């Protein structure tokens, strides 16, 4: 058996694990990424980056790579398949970027390799033990001794299970299917390019829906259908071509010809949240910590943002720069965010009408959702733009919020964060208060009553005093 050492083992090279590994490598942490699969399947569950994820990638100079691999820019998001506009938000990215999950992973893995870290493929974490000094991780062929282990190993996380953490939430009753289908021609009523969330879905019976999203090739679509009241006995059973063709014929007519069904997958609608995100030297992030029905296009985005929150804190802990409790703030900040997503997903499910009363509720909700304030509220939920972390009592209202990106003399504020450090925004040029803080002199701050603000590496406001106490030792 091979023996390795590292500072952090990341289990799982999905979007969460790859983003986290990038953050750690950027901070100079020796990280090993274990991935069970010998190679990426190339199949994509998620298809989008939400505005806040685009911002987060931009903070690290990664957005351009994602854009190069994207196939669409979509003007809106959706809540229960009702379009919600991002236009009212103070963001440079008021849209969803259409990009297959596999391409997000490829972009992140490419940058990771440039930082000198390779994913160890065909390496499944099988067990681990932890003690006061570290964690010993075992795979089928290797033992690795590290200071920390992070389980980014997806919804069926072996790490979470080994920690025996309760994974509780809402038991769904239904199921959904996605299939990538190439048609002979554009199906009736479908968009030929993915530009908007309007007219994507057809509700076709009590608790049932069918939708088509155009993908990157002519007449190639992501077909999604489901029934939120009925679940087949075996959720993992193969989805047959016959089942997919039947749904297409029933919804879009017998004249809608299918050329190819590339893949299809069935999934449940349970929503679950790990009771804790950290047990000693072992942490959880992404789907390992939370899973839910993929309504609103939020899961991958949540995972990438977990990684952005955890990476710099874990690096600071390892480099002895973190004050006590900084690492604990990861769970304190990110678990409520996942809880809110689980709740909005449950609300979206309820709006797929299962009774005449719920159909009436959807009709009323649809009209209400078009009011500007409702659009702003709902788009804030799914975009991640309204996420704000808890601030101390009497702190300035900007504390904990995200720094809106703005133009600078040479580029954009996001450029200052490429090294993953704290940034002190100040109207009076000053010496850096700490070696891990970059100073950015600006004529004015986005908050007119402030003359300085210390911004965390993840782009949230640490404080408006500029002091590093409580953030860096
Ligand atoms: C049908 C469907 C559609 C979706 N659509 C969207 C969408 O449009 N937008 C969106 O934001 N989200 C969407 N999601 C959710 C999104 O796919 C997930 O939230 C995302 O994959 C989570 O990323 P992750 O890295 O946390 O976990 P995963 O992507 O599950 O990655 C975990 C990785 O860990 C590896 N692994 C597992 N066990 C081990 C082990 N023991 N040792 C080593 N490696 C291991 C796995 O092989 C995998 O590569 C969708 C989900 C589904 C099912």
Q: Which domains does the chain have, with CATH numbers?
A: 2-168+272-343 (3.50.50.60), 175-268 (3.30.70.2450), 391-473 (3.40.30.120)
DSSP bridge pairs for 191: none
CA of 184 to the centre of ligand 1 (A): 31
Distance CA 352, CA 361 (A): 10
Give the tokens for residue 264: 């299809």
Distance CA 55, CA 384 (A): 10
Ligand 1, atom nearest to 17 Cα = 25
Q: Are 319 and 147 in contact (CB under 8 A)?
A: no
Buried-state track 185-195, b at ≥16 Cβ within 10 A, e below 16? eebeebbeebe
Q: Are 154 and 13 in contact (CB under 8 A)?
A: no
- What pLDDT, on the 0 to 100 scale, is given for residue 336? 98
Q: Is the CB of 47 under 6 A from ligand 1?
A: yes
Q: Is the CB of 267 under 6 A from ligand 1?
A: yes
Closest by CA to 311, choosing from 286, 340, 339, is 286
User: SS3 for 163?
Assistant: coil
Q: Is the CB of 158 under 6 A from ligand 1?
A: yes
- What pLDDT, on the 0 to 100 scale, is given for residue 292? 95
Distance CA 244, CA 252 (A): 12
Non-local CB neighbours of 198 within 8 Å, separated by 6+ positions:
76, 83
Q: Is the CB of 301 under 6 A from ligand 1?
A: yes
Residue nearest to atom 6 of ligand 1 (CA): 46
CA of 378 to the centre of ligand 1 (A): 24
Q: Are 306 and 16 in contact (CB under 8 A)?
A: yes
CA of 96 to the centre of ligand 1 (A): 19
User: SS3 for 46?
Assistant: coil
Non-local CB neighbours of 166 within 8 Å, separated by 6+ positions:
274, 275
Q: Which residues of the chain fall short of a pLDDT of 50?
A: none
Q: Is the CB of 314 under 6 A from ligand 1?
A: no
Distance CA 93, CA 168 (A): 34
Q: Is the CB of 46 under 6 A from ligand 1?
A: yes
- What pLDDT, on the 0 to 100 scale, is given for residue 86? 96
Ligand 1, atom nearest to 159 Cα = 41
Q: Is the CB of 153 under 6 A from ligand 1?
A: yes
Distance CA 351, CA 248 (A): 23
Q: Is the CB of 125 under 6 A from ligand 1?
A: yes
Distance CA 14, CA 62 (A): 16
CA of 221 to the centre of ligand 1 (A): 21
Q: Is the CB of 291 under 6 A from ligand 1?
A: no
Closest by CA to 315, choosing from 111, 438, 148, is 148
Residue nearest to atom 41 of ligand 1 (CA): 125
Length of the chain: 473
- Among 124, 155, 197, 287, name the best residue to mutate to test ligand 1's pocket (greatest count of ligand atoms within 8 A of Cβ): 287
Q: Is the CB of 295 under 6 A from ligand 1?
A: no
Distance CA 255, CA 257 (A): 6
CA of 14 to the centre of ligand 1 (A): 6
DSSP 8-state symbol, 404: P
Q: How many alpha carbons lie under 13 Å from residue 304 in its C-beta half-sphere?
A: 29
> Could you give the maximum distance between any two Cα atoms of the chain, in Å?
71
């Amino acid at each position: 058996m091979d023996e390795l050492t590292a500072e952090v083992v990341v289990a799982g090279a999905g979007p969460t694990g790859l983003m986290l590994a990038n953050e750690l490598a950027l901070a100079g942490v020796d990280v090993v990424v274990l991935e069970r699969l010998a190679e990426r399947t190339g199949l994509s569950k998620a298809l989008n980056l939400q505005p806040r994820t685009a911002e987060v990638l931009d903070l690290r100079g990664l957005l351009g790579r994602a854009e190069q691999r994207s196939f669409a820019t979509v003007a809106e998001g959706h809540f229960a398949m009702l379009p919600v506009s991002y236009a009212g938000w103070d963001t440079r990215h008021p849209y969803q970027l259409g990009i297959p999950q596999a391409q997000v992973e490829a972009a992140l893995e490419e940058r990771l390799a440039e930082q000198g870290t390779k994913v160890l493929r065909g390496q499944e974490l099988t067990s681990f033990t932890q003690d006061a000094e570290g964690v010993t991780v075992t795979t089928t062929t290797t033992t690795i001794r590290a200071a920390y282990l992070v389980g980014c190993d997806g919804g069926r996380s072996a790490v979470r299970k080994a920690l025996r953490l309760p994974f509780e939430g809402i038991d769904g009753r239904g199921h959904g299917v996605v299939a990538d289908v190439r048609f002979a021609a554009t199906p009736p009523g479908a968009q030929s390019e993915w530009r908007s969330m309007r007219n994507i879905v057809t509700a076709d019976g009590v608790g049932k829906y069918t939708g088509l999203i155009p993908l990157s090739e002519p007449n190639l679509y992501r077909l999604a259908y489901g029934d939120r009241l009925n679940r087949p006995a075996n959720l993992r059973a193969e989805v047959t071509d016959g089942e997919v063709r039947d749904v297409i014929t029933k919804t879009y007519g017998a004249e809608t010809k299918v050329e190819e069904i590339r893949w299809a997958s069935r999934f449940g609608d349970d929503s679950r949240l790990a009771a804790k995100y950290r047990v000693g030297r072992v942490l959880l992030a992404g789907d390992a910590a939370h899973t839910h029905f993929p309504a609103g296009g939020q899961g991958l985005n949540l995972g990438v943002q977990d990684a952005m929150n955890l990476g710099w804190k874990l690096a600071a802990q390892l480099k002895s720069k973190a004050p006590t409790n900084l690492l604990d703030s990861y769970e304190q900040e990110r678990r409520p965010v996942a809880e809110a997503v689980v709740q909005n997903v449950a609300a979206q499910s309820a709006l797929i009408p299962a009774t005449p009363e719920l159909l009436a509720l959807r009709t009323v909700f649809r009209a209400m959702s078009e009011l500007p304030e409702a659009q702003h509220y709902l788009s804030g939920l799914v975009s991640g733009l309204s996420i704000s972390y808890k601030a101390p009592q009497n702190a300035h209202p900007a504390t904990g919020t995200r720094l809106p990106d703005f133009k600078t003399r040479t580029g954009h504020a996001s450029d200052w964060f490429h090294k993953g450090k704290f940034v002190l925004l100040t109207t009076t040029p000053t010496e850096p208060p700490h070696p891990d803080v970059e100073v950015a002199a600006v004529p004015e701050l986005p908050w007119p009553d402030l003359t300085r603000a210390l911004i965390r590496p993840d782009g949230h406001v640490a404080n408006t005093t500029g002091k590093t106490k409580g953030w860096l030792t």
